[in-house]
Amino acid sequence: MPRKKVKKSRKPVKFKVITIKVTARQKKSLINYSKSRRTTPVKLIKKAIAPLLNNYADLKVVSHTAEKVSQLELF
């Protein structure tokens, strides 16, 4: 008899909380739009910002102030 394959346990995903403020009218619009699309407001927001955030996790941020300091040190 072949042995059963044991599934490797996955590392749990850590989620972070981000809060935003919207006006009452924006909230009403968000709820109505999500109801019309048969989804939740959270899924709607995540789907909307996903293209902006997917490729920037490992991006190194270059500070523009470092360039100004190095130019001043030349003189």
In a domain, 28, yes or no: yes
Provide the 10 A C-beta neighbour count for residue 44.
Answer: 14
In a domain, 46, yes or no: yes
In a domain, 39, yes or no: yes
In a domain, 36, yes or no: yes
In a domain, 43, yes or no: yes
pLDDT, tens digit (0-9, with 9 covering 90-100), for 8-62: 888 998 999 999 999 999 999 999 999 999 999 999 999 999 988 888 878 888 7
Distance CA(31)–CA(8), nearest Å, equals: 39
Residue 49 structure tokens: 């910002």
pLDDT, tens digit (0-9, with 9 covering 90-100), for 50-73: 988 888 878 888 776 655 555 556
Question: What local confidence, expressed as pLDDT, does residue 36 receive?
Answer: 97
Cut 0.85: pTM above it? no
The domain tally of the chain equals 1
In a domain, 61, yes or no: no
Question: What local confidence, expressed as pLDDT, does residue 53 receive?
Answer: 86
